[in-house]
Amino acid sequence: MSLHIEIEHHRKALIVRLEGELDHHTAEPVKLRMEEALQKSKSNHMILCLKGLSFMDSSGLGVILGRYKQVKARNGQIIVCDVNPAVYRLLEMSGLFKIVSIQADEKQALGSLEAVS
């Protein structure tokens, strides 16, 4: 299976929607698209909407951690939202929720950023 990525600019946040499988086959192109979008934008924050993400492995964790470092360098934060149970379990077991926030959906993620700004 492949991965579809959609990137939208919303005020000071990049919203990245992933659909499909984020694994060692798809991680590199996703990483490059996200890096390019961050470099071109003035966004400090990133929201990762994982609603359509059916699978993720350690390569996907690496993509998120790398973007965390980029966003942190801009004094921003990453918020993940709409996470299915299988992906949630991987993120939780990895300890990722110690450094990134989680929200139920995009609306709540955007609201939490506006409360911080």
CB-based contact 5:15 (threshold 8 Å) = no
Can you tell me the distance from the alpha carbon of 24 to that of 18, in angstroms, rounded to the nearest whole number?
15
For each of the domains in the chain, give its residue range(s) and CATH number, in order of start. Answer: 3-116 (3.30.750.24)
Which tens digits make up the pLDDT trace of 19-66?
999 999 999 999 999 999 999 988 899 999 999 999 999 999 999 999
Beta bridge partners of 9: 14
pTM (predicted TM-score): 0.93
